[in-house]
Amino acid sequence: MAAVAAAGGRSHPGGGRVSGGDRNAQKAANADAPKIPNLFRRISTLFIPYRRALIVTGALVLVGAALTVIPPLLTQQAFDLGLFPSGGPNIPVLIELVGLMVLIWIVSAALGVWQTYLTARVGNRVMGDLRIRLFSHLQSMELAFFTRTKTGVIQSRLQNDVGGVANVLTNTVSSVLGNTVTVIAALVAMLLLSWQLTLVAVILMPILVWVQRRVGQVRARIASQTQESLSEMTAITQETLSVSGILLAKSFNRQNAEITRYSDENDTQISLQVRQQMSGQWFFAIVQIVLSIVPAVVYLVSGYLIAGGVDITAGTIVAFTTVQARLMWPLLGLMRVGLDLQTSGALFARIFEYLDLRPSITDAPDAVDLPRSGMAGRVQFDHVGFVYPDGEPEHPTLDDVSFTVEPGQFAAFVGPSGAGKTTVSYLVPRLYEATSGAVLVDGRDVRELRHQSLIDRLGIVSQETYLFHATIADNLRYARPDATADELVDAARQANIHERIMSFPDGYDTVVGERGYRLSGGEKQRIAIARVLLKDPAVLILDEATSALDSISERVVQDALDTAARGRTTIAIAHRLSTIVNADVIFVVDAGRIVESGSHSELLARDGAYARLYEQQLSTA
């Protein structure tokens, strides 16, 4: 499958690769993002599996927040009953009150450590679940999604977007609960001390909340633009710093151009990061100034109240300003959380945008497994038509194609580039869905089969072999993780690659490098064949498996392919006609239709399209 996915990057008539980093498309997607209330409901569902830990966390937060309001009230008692009672300082009462305050701070600190552990654990688990959920969902998407989306953009959603909401997931619950309880408790305490002074302290709060909402909207827009820029930077990195990208840049002496492209996007990212950091700073500065001057205003108002006959003691004023100071930071914290939620809403919208994508190829509710034992391997196309998702219906890639490949037959598909040959190889494993007609395996429509069971019974070898940066043994076991060492050797011998593997100092433990760049094209192709042989498929699909090889490597690989095809139904997409002259049946595809079929000798005798192709290749050779 990895090899097929790599092959999916080719352009097709009516279905070329589309840039996933297009900014206009991203803006359109953001415009359709879920509304904030619905978005927050979806975020809250992420925490459902951890509700017990959240309940404990909530209890700790409530207790801890409530405890922080008690010391200011004890301060009032310490002033009025301990330091300045009518008969002079009362040391025993003062010792009792001070000891109680110290105990409360110790308990609050211990509860804070426990609460931090729980919130960090729950938040990071939720973030991990979200990342796994997104990765799993992307694995279920059809091949067409990946041919029109940059790999770097997909990586950015997994890394940058999910990582960008980490702080919200880990700290929001405790911050909102703790700060809310602290603010409420502080307001209650202030009202108990003096309702008149409380009015003075909170009179500007509604205006500040309104301004905070407006600032949050601005920050959310900047956050969305920042993530788009990060996606583009990730895409540039993925494209240019891979082995293929570096080789291309060096081959055309384009390193400076790539550096300039990355530098321009980096400048955009820096500008957006600065804007995001600075947005709201004046707002918070004003809020802090307002909350900081409130104590001075309280002193002034207290003087007027006392002069007017209101009974306010010195202890009350000290306790009130202490409580008001405790109100300032939780209130600032709530406002910052509000801004963070609005900012992260843009990131969550991008994440849920991918999670809301629905794969176009899914199992039917009544789908059945394709049995492994007794599978014949007959492949049939019944009046199949196909148009790529972004193609033009009036110019289908396949048009009313019908054929049958009998069990054990070697069937080859030939024709000019763009005729639709490779599309045939995509429709059999249902990597794309036929637009009309039916594709049948052993008489069953592939849409009636569970996709996983269908893929398990097929083997695919493509022109663009994909190997992981791992050992040869690990790459082989990708087909069958439980394969024994003897089975690896047997598959490698059948693929004519065992002796070459053993010539390496580390044998099967040789690391092949990224995409197998330490190996030649023929070696990579034979390892891919050995990997398919380990799978032991009933139907083998060869998508121009030797077209990129030199003549010597082609002969060696062709021998391996002949061995692999023996006893199996084989569908070979061929560019070089010399590789399929011994095929049981050859189908000639032109402009999406099968125009001829028969054996090599029969088609030459007809002196038609196949004969012309053969003569062209023969004269070129």
The answer on 93 and 55 residing in a single domain is yes
pLDDT at position 382, please? 95
Are residues 339 and 413 both part of a single domain? no
What's the number of domains the chain is made of?
A: 2
Query: Residue 368 carries which DSSP code?
Result: B
Coil, helix or strand at residue 206? helix
In this structure, the answer to whether residues 302 and 429 fall within a common structural domain is no
- Kindly state whether residues 125 and 194 are assigned to the same domain: yes
d(CA 203, CA 196) in angstroms, rounded, equals: 11
Is residue 499 in some structural domain?
Answer: no
Which pLDDT belongs to residue 31? 41
pLDDT at 476: 92
Do both 414 and 344 map to the same domain? no
Tokens of 513: 């490098």
The number of beta carbons lying within 10 Å of the beta carbon of residue 140 is 13
Task: Kindly give the interhelix angle for 551-565 and 521-535, rounded to the nearest 10 degrees.
Answer: 0
Residue 369 belongs to a domain: no
Assign 3-class secondary structure to 32-94.
CCCCHHHHHHHHHHCCHHHHHHHHHHHHHHHHHHHHHHHHHHHHHHHHHHHHCCCCCCCHHHH
72 is a domain residue: yes
Mean pLDDT by 10 residues, the chain (621 residues): 36 36 40 55 84 84 76 77 77 85 87 82 85 89 83 79 74 68 76 78 68 68 76 76 69 78 84 76 70 75 79 77 72 71 76 87 89 84 90 86 92 89 91 92 92 89 82 91 91 88 92 82 86 88 70 71 81 84 91 92 90 82 58
Would you state the pLDDT for residue 597? 92
Coil, strand, or helix at residue 440? strand
CATH code: domain of residue 348: 1.20.1560.10
Question: Same structural domain for residues 41 and 186?
Answer: yes
Instruction: Look at residue 413 in the predicted model and tell me its pLDDT.
Output: 94
pLDDT attached to residue 17:
34
pLDDT of res. 50? 86
Q: Which residues pair with 462 in a beta bridge?
A: 543
The structure tokens listed for 444 are 């069953």
Tell me the angle at which helices 314-355 and 36-45 cross, rounded to the nearest 10 degrees: 90
Does residue 20 fall inside a structural domain? yes
- The reply to whether 519 falls in a domain is no
148 with 268, same domain: the answer is yes
Is position 347 within any domain?
A: yes
Q: In b/e form, how buried is each residue of 371-406, taking b as 16+ CB within 10 angstroms?
A: eeeebebbbbbbebbbbbbebeeeebbbbebebebe
Query: Is residue 614 domain-resident?
Result: yes
If one counts every other C-beta atom within 10 angstroms of the C-beta of residue 558, the result is: 18
What pLDDT sits at residue 244?
A: 67
Whether 157 contacts 351, CB under 8 Å = yes
Residue 553 located in a structural domain: no
Q: Are residues 419 and 339 in the same domain?
A: no
150 vs 145, 192, 394, CA distance in Å? 10, 61, 28
Domain that holds residue 441: 379-457+576-621
What is the dihedral sign for C-alpha 220, 159, 430, 359?
Answer: negative
In 3D, which of 182, 201, 181, 193 has the Cα closest to residue 75?
A: 193
CATH number for the domain that contains residue 407: 3.40.50.300
Report pLDDT for 442. 92
Alpha helix ranges (H) inside 280-313 = 281-307
pLDDT value of position 551: 64
Report the DSSP pairing between strands 410-414 and 585-590: parallel
Q: Are 409 and 332 found together in one domain? A: no
Do 325 and 383 fall into the same domain? no
Residues 91, 191, single domain; the answer is yes
